Chains A and B, each alone.
Chain A
Amino acid sequence: MSLRIVVTVKYVPDATGDRHFADDLTVDRDDVDGLLSELDEYAVEQALQIAENADEAEVTVLTVGPEDAKDALRKALSMGADKAIHVEDDDLHGTDAIGTSLVLAKAIEKAGYDLVISGMASTDGSMGVVPALLAERLGVPQVTLLAEVSVEDGTVKGRRDGDAASEQLEASLPAVVSVTDQSGEARYPSFKGIMAAKKKPVQSWDLSDLDIDEDEVGLENAWTAVDSATERPARTAGTIVKDEGEGGKQLAEFLASQKFI
């Protein structure tokens, strides 16, 4: 029996670029290049490893995003995923976390799954809530924020490093897993992988394919509203000194002047 793994991957504006908000206070996607959220590479990596250790498995990568989000899918396919699903619809513009989780959950159900693997957080909204929302919607266990994960005999096990303790977790499949950047380096796509990715199937679904009403998603129907976005004023240039033997003392003088000592 084949293990069906769905990996959710988000297409995000490059964090090292100059990120801005558009006039409608959604992320301005024209201003800066997009890419596969780096933290989702860890999810793809763990999915591939779990698949490699299973008798038979299929890894599907899923994204909800605009036309360009195909780039994120291609990257994941070139790492080794088997196929991809792209949910794309103009009415999705401005959807918030609750709405996004609805679309993802419907797509995951339509695709069929035993295991969903997500990143720990996106690198743009970085809420870290979508995996928990998916578990709630799908009615399956959440085994989230894992630094270590394995799947055997229909059971997923993992380690979650929390603030107060490190916990060993266990749940039966189907389940939703999310992995942290401590779970293991993500592989680079090989040349062969990149070539093979071009031939792998990418399915496109819109809201009607998922039986979602347009008034359940989008900016107008979101559960949250952004009223303003203000660019933080650049920090005023600080004092910079070169250490010529007295650097530590000079710094102490500054800290004392600021009443830290």
Chain B
Amino acid sequence: MAEVLVYVDHVDGAVRKPTLELLTLARRIGEPVAVALGAGAADTAATLAEHGAAKVLTHDAPEYADYLVVPKVDALQAAVEAVSPAAVLVPSSAEGKEIAARLALRIGSGIITDAVDLEAGDEGPVATQSVFAASYSTKSRVSKGTPVITVKPNSAAVEAAPAAGAVEALNVSFSAQATGTKVTGRTPRESTGRPELTEAAIVVSGGRGVNGAENFAVIEALADSLGAAVGASRAAVDAGWYPHTSQVGQTGKSVSPQLYIANGISGAIQHRAGMQTSKTIVAVNKDSEAPIFDLVDYGVVGDLFAVVPQLTEEIKARKG
């Protein structure tokens, strides 16, 4: 069976959920071979094997942490040369897309970004993309070279599928470009203890209507009652009420949870671009004309400071 390379997104050996989703999708088009780079790469093997990786190619070197993007491109190119895969799948993070693009160019292939689904086709893998702020769904293919496809989080349900997961050392020689962009400092993001925004099953977001950093406690309390991640509109982020890493939308994160609850958010096209593919959408807004209500499965026209705390209490009561 044809092999499919899956680029592993991990933090010190802890594999992030989007990679496990990629392994599920990869099995539809061939046999997954995972590529894990950097510190803790070998520690990923057990998890990857459990989710279907026949092989895990690993390599660690200081270059992955000390320089931007290119060392990882060099490694992935080495993996492509070693395996001759039928396709290369990469998680659709900002970095993932850059790695995938440079790899595609080097190996003479086309690239598709932000696929939300993937299936086998007569002429290679067919990707579904959700475009123009999710108002269109397209099906596309890479027509030249080895398909390089980046896939958004929450595009498939993670399935366990035990496989060999044989660890093999990948041989990598870094290119002249590899050390071009130095990482001279790094401030790790503090964990909030809440689920990762792009991976969460439920996202609770606040917008300008939240009206102040301290008021985000209301949004956080609702999120915690549901075990949800917290998101924010750009208006709330620009006002300094919540960190940019929580921004949902065109220039923030794009999320696709089972449930999205928008509080005090009008629903501008750029916000919708990042949440419109959510399965169920709920909004609380005091303006009955707010465009967000065009999207909702359930909407409450009202003051969020009355509705949200009541909702939180009710959820807590029901959960006991």
List chain A positions with a Cβ less than 8 A from chain B.
Answer: 15-16, 19, 21, 25, 39, 96-98, 101, 120-121, 123-124, 126-129, 131-133, 135-137, 139-145, 147, 157, 160-172, 175, 180-182, 222-232, 235, 238-243, 245-252, 254-256, 258, 260-261
A226 and B139 form a contact (CB under 8 A): yes
Is B40 located at the chain interface by the 8 A CB criterion? Answer: no
Q: What B residues does A101 contact at CB under 8 A?
A: 105
Tell me the complex Cα distance, A15–B271, Å. 12
Q: What A residues does B295 contact at CB under 8 A?
A: 235, 238
Q: Which label, helix, strand, loop or mixed, suits the secondary structure of the A interface?
A: mixed
Is B184 located at the chain interface by the 8 A CB criterion? Answer: yes
Nearest residue, chain A, Cβ from B106:
A136
B95 and A162 form a contact (CB under 8 A): yes
A211 → chain B closest CB, angstroms: 19
Identify B113's interface contact among A25, A127, A160, A171, CB under 8 A. Answer: A127
Identify A137's interface contact among B70, B105, B144, B318, CB under 8 A. Answer: B105
A240 and B288 form a contact (CB under 8 A): yes
15 more contacts with CB within 8 A, not counting A235-B295, A235-B296, are: A15-B270, A120-B251, A129-B98, A133-B102, A165-B188, A167-B186, A170-B182, A175-B180, A224-B142, A224-B143, A226-B138, A227-B139, A232-B134, A240-B298, A256-B318
Q: What A residues does B319 contact at CB under 8 A?
A: 261
Tell me the complex Cα distance, A245–B310, Å. 9
Nearest residue, chain A, Cβ from B268:
A16
Q: What B residues does A131 contact at CB under 8 A?
A: 98
Nearest residue, chain A, Cβ from B280:
A258
Is B2 located at the chain interface by the 8 A CB criterion? Answer: no
Q: List 20 A-B contacts (CB under 8 A).
A: A126-B114, A136-B105, A136-B106, A143-B181, A162-B94, A163-B93, A165-B186, A165-B187, A167-B183, A168-B184, A181-B251, A223-B104, A223-B111, A229-B137, A232-B135, A235-B294, A243-B307, A246-B310, A248-B308, A251-B300
A16 and B138 form a contact (CB under 8 A): no
B135 and A98 form a contact (CB under 8 A): no
Tell me the complex Cα distance, A167–B188, Å. 8
Q: What B residues does A247 contact at CB under 8 A?
A: 284, 300-302, 306-307, 310-311
A242 and B288 form a contact (CB under 8 A): yes
**Contact mask B212-235 → A, CB, 8 Å, 1/0?**
000000000000001000000010
Q: What B residues does A142 contact at CB under 8 A?
A: 68-70, 98, 180-181
- What is the size, in residues, of chain B's interface with A at 8 Å between Cβ atoms? 90
Given A97-B101, A168-B185, A248-B306 contact (CB < 8 Å): yes
Given A123-B250, A163-B93, A241-B299, A129-B111 contact (CB < 8 Å): yes
Is B303 located at the chain interface by the 8 A CB criterion? Answer: yes
A225 and B97 form a contact (CB under 8 A): no
Nearest residue, chain B, Cβ from A158:
B181
Tell me the complex Cα distance, A175–B303, Å. 50
CB-contacts of B263-298 with A (<8 A): 269-270, 273, 280-282, 284, 288, 293-298
Tell me the complex Cα distance, A98–B142, Å. 11
Identify A98's interface contact among B97, B111, B131, B251, CB under 8 A. Answer: B111
A171 → chain B closest CB, angstroms: 5
B109 and A223 form a contact (CB under 8 A): yes
The 6 closest A-B pairs by CB, nearest first: A248-B310, A243-B302, A223-B110, A141-B180, A168-B185, A129-B101
A136 → chain B closest CB, angstroms: 4
Q: What B residues does A127 contact at CB under 8 A?
A: 97, 101, 111, 113-114
Q: What A residues does B299 contact at CB under 8 A?
A: 238-241
Given A139-B177, A170-B181, A241-B301, A163-B189 contact (CB < 8 Å): yes
Q: What A residues does B70 contact at CB under 8 A?
A: 142
A28 → chain B closest CB, angstroms: 11
B113 and A243 form a contact (CB under 8 A): no
A3 → chain B closest CB, angstroms: 19
Q: What A residues does B288 contact at CB under 8 A?
A: 240, 242
Tell me the complex Cα distance, A235–B296, Å. 8
Is B258 located at the chain interface by the 8 A CB criterion? Answer: yes
Q: What A residues does B258 contact at CB under 8 A?
A: 260
B296 and A240 form a contact (CB under 8 A): yes
Is B208 located at the chain interface by the 8 A CB criterion? Answer: no
B74 → chain A closest CB, angstroms: 11
Identify A19's interface contact among B132, B143, B282, B284, CB under 8 A. Answer: B132
B113 → chain A closest CB, angstroms: 4
Tell me the complex Cα distance, A97–B112, Å. 9
Tell me the complex Cα distance, A162–B185, Å. 13
Identify B184's interface contact among A98, A164, A170, A175, CB under 8 A. Answer: A170
B102 and A16 form a contact (CB under 8 A): no
